Chains A and B, each alone.
Chain A
């Protein structure tokens, strides 16, 4: 069965020895690999070969892992199903009629299908956790600044982090230990992950831990998802965790705020793809401005164009205050809400995705529906927090993910709690 996971199966060997030797790993195709094509799932970059390695790629090579290929994704990370890839959708290994989630769909599918022990994804609004939940694997979105973004082709740079995917919490944490830490090439990185021992935190011990259950994020969710997630939370209670209900009023604005900010940043981040150095340059009529427009019309897919246009609009004079500034205010409110919640709890819990994985083609025609699928994951990115998606069980034979959110640089707490879900 071909799931269309790999865009490129060129193997990149790592160092002979290291904490990840014997491990195979798949890399999302928006992370730069020296000498190996890095397409972002876009025709615009179909022939782009980076002359340098992303910091995480260097670290993974140094750690001895073998990179088995570059994997499929929604074009420039813009999507939640991997169907916006210019190179065709990836199928969900659990049920090939369904999407694997996205945008790191290839990464989650590679692990779920046994094509790689580990995978690297990137998470701008849920792009690691969403496919982890849909494919029944573990995915971590680290605190903003824990993992270097140098070499990650930006979609929305104030929101995104590179994160690990694996079959177990411990393996995902091992990979996080390798890739975290301050990087002189990324001024936003912090030193908290420099000498981390996240894998040690996967000890399954939740006794005495307080878990806040975010009620708002259960309300709109599919009943089957809610039931499965609630059962896994009850299992944690039976292991000694205490649960309390938490309400975060700001979350009702999170999706709107997220999309305004992400699209605004995207409109600027993707501006460099103008046909001069990337894409199908040449052969257009008109002046350079018209040539840029033609190259972009030809090189980008519909969803990318939609987001660039909306983002450009949101930043424009006369609309900037109404959209972009308001979204920033909402973002500050979401952060504040989370800060307050963490004065009472160690971690927060919710379903990762409010729905079960849709069938291929089912959701693509309705962008708004697609955006609302992100309601549970985007607040974490707005607040720069760490979160993990861990398999909570199955409903109708399809995987359901439990999302655990920690305070800033509280990776150990979410890893500990998630490892108890596996007990």
Chain B
């Protein structure tokens, strides 16, 4: 094909993902060591004979990790096998304590699932080929260069044996934006399941396979023939660690591949490294031959029967279902329902509040006021979930006209978050208790006496005069008066 012809080709993007997720279990997948890194922990201290791969030590399967994987399988509508089996993936690498990795091969814990995403209003279902359990290797620190050039390399096995689930998708993504939406959705679902902690360093690691094919090869329903897929050279992009990073890395890679094709170049089949700080992908150069991992069954891990686990293990209501229920049960609009189901903690908090109040009021306070103020302070609902009672007290005070909405929002709530006091203490301290009608009446009389010009303007039909007088009364009451009441009292008094 000439460069001219190449330039005119319409290209379609094909992406598949491999997502490594660290599971939030108490102990490692094959031993009793904790998965949680203590702050400033010394290297190689959170270890035992098993996760160090010491001669003679044996793995024992942590059923909690299997349970977490079954939950993921249910959330992804995947098939769960009759029993677990593990294989050894044999390869030499300095971060592998045994020089093989325990993983699943021909009977993954989840197969044939899917996850629905929505990008700019279009819903798409992404096929999940499989998800399997495996152990995380240790970590390496190369001193004075890369693995090939370093003076020396330090090995830390604290991470070794942390349970991982590797989720492999079909090549169903047609844009980098879709991968971002998928990963964000996946993180949301995993967090809902309580099996994943996004704040943990390295808890999400993504590899992406990306190629460009002739747009004509894409069928109406978005499917692509195997032939077209196989004929296109693809690159594997490694070192992606977030959904935002995935979109950036793949957008870069799309542009790079398009430019190359338009210049009539052939895309090299290779592994590329996403350099987050430079915002580019870099060839890893090591043109590795197809690796032969010599998989075989791990006899030390007898099969665990899990055929009835799918039925036995409950999972919480997932974000999509909860969003729909919030809309129908509480009559919320789509935006509020989305906001209020953004995390399980927010949704739980909202439902606790909605138990005692009108859903609209609860939604306004949680979705608009609380989330807004938390976001401004870089806080999460989980930071205040033990203060549910104080929060409902505040709403009841507003609801009972004990404090104005404005004061409740701008002074009491902010002070609750900044200083940690309860609403009643703040209202007392700031003198924000709503003024009674007698007191307001006195302020109204005062304002009329002090501002004869405004009174005259009012009688002459000037629009701004009443607002000015309301403002004067509000100032006298230090905001504790209800503007509606003031308005009505003034009109009565001036009539």
Which residues of A are interface residues toward B (Cβ below 8 A)?
30-32, 38, 40, 45, 48, 50-52, 54, 149-154, 157-158, 184-188, 264-265, 267-268, 271-272, 274, 276, 278, 287-289, 292, 312, 315-317, 320, 324
B328 CB to nearest chain A CB (Å): 48
B300 touches A264 (CB 8 A): no
Q: For the complex, would chain A's binding face be called helix, strand, loop or mixed by DSSP majority? A: loop
When distances are taken between beta carbons in the complex, the residues of chain B under 8 Å from A31 are 56
Contact among A38, A151, A268 with B57 in the assembled complex (CB-CB below 8 Å):
A151
A276 touches B155 (CB 8 A): yes
B92 touches A153 (CB 8 A): no
A265 touches B155 (CB 8 A): no
A188 touches B296 (CB 8 A): no
Cα A377 to Cα B215 with chains together (Å): 64
Interface residues of B in 37-61 (CB under 8 A from A): 49, 53-61
A245 CB to nearest chain B CB (Å): 33
Residue B332, interface by CB 8 Å = no
Known: A153-B56, A186-B58, A187-B60. A268 touches B296 (CB 8 A): yes
Interface residues of B in 267-303 (CB under 8 A from A): 292, 294-296, 299-302
Contact among A152, A188, A267, A312 with B56 in the assembled complex (CB-CB below 8 Å):
A152
B55 touches A52 (CB 8 A): no
Cα A276 to Cα B99 with chains together (Å): 11
When distances are taken between beta carbons in the complex, the residues of chain A under 8 Å from B53 are 272
When distances are taken between beta carbons in the complex, the residues of chain B under 8 Å from A320 are 294, 296
Contact among A268, A274, A278 with B294 in the assembled complex (CB-CB below 8 Å):
A268
A12 CB to nearest chain B CB (Å): 17
Contact among B49, B88, B147, B302 with A52 in the assembled complex (CB-CB below 8 Å):
B49
B94 touches A288 (CB 8 A): yes
- Nearest CB to that of A271 among chain B residues? B99
- Nearest CB to that of A31 among chain B residues? B56
- Nearest CB to that of A312 among chain B residues? B294
Interface string of B283-326 (1 = CB under 8 A from A): 00000000010111001111000000000000000000000000
Please, could you name 12 A-B residue pairs with CB atoms under 8 Å apart, sorted by A?
A30-B56, A31-B56, A152-B56, A188-B300, A188-B302, A265-B296, A268-B88, A268-B296, A271-B98, A272-B55, A276-B155, A316-B294
Interface residues of B in 140-155 (CB under 8 A from A): 147-148, 153, 155
When distances are taken between beta carbons in the complex, the residues of chain B under 8 Å from A287 are 148
Interface string of B49-85 (1 = CB under 8 A from A): 1000111111111000000000000000000000000
B290 CB to nearest chain A CB (Å): 8
A276 touches B92 (CB 8 A): no
Known: A271-B98, A271-B99. A187 touches B61 (CB 8 A): yes
Known: A188-B302, A288-B147, A320-B294. A271 touches B92 (CB 8 A): yes
Residue B161, interface by CB 8 Å = no
When distances are taken between beta carbons in the complex, the residues of chain B under 8 Å from A51 are 49, 54
A15 CB to nearest chain B CB (Å): 22
- Nearest CB to that of A150 among chain B residues? B58
When distances are taken between beta carbons in the complex, the residues of chain A under 8 Å from B171 are none
A49 CB to nearest chain B CB (Å): 11
Residue in A40, A157, A187, A288 whose Cβ sees the most chain B Cβ within 10 Å: A187
Contact among A48, A185, A276 with B55 in the assembled complex (CB-CB below 8 Å):
A48
Cα A153 to Cα B55 with chains together (Å): 5
B291 CB to nearest chain A CB (Å): 10
Residue B163, interface by CB 8 Å = no
A32 touches B56 (CB 8 A): yes
The 7 A-B residue pairs whose C-beta atoms are closest, nearest first, are A158-B299, A271-B99, A315-B294, A153-B55, A151-B56, A32-B56, A153-B56
- Nearest CB to that of B294 among chain A residues? A315
